[in-house]
Amino acid sequence: MSNKELDVEAARKLVDDLSRQLAEAEKKGPKLNELRAEVETLRDILSGPNAQHSWIAERLAAIERVFEHAAVELLADGIKAGAYLAEIGRILGAR
């Protein structure tokens, strides 16, 4: 993946939006906790001075995997996986 294909600003917006959604989710199931951890890791990478596109892409892919494996549980907590999956794919240039 070339650097031009990864929209870092869109990744930041996604992290901000997803963080708000996760903060509003009342339950604390294992998949929600896993998703929270992945989002915070990506936030840390994005806020660092040397955020490499490969690191961002890896974390986005990890978040995508959590969504794919926990969509039903997350939907029950009000988190709509489909919209986030589409945005992650767009950011990664895969869809």
Read off the pLDDT band of 68 (50, 70, 90).
confident
Higher-pLDDT residue of 67 and 26 is 67
CA distances from 10 to 6, 7, 84 (A): 9, 5, 12
2 pLDDT exceeds 50? no
- The pTM (predicted TM-score) of the whole model is 0.80
The stretch 39-58 carries a mean pLDDT of 93
The pLDDT score that the predictor gives to residue 77 is 61
Percent of the chain with pLDDT over 70: 84
Read off the pLDDT band of 47 (50, 70, 90).
very high
Tokens coding 21: 């959604």
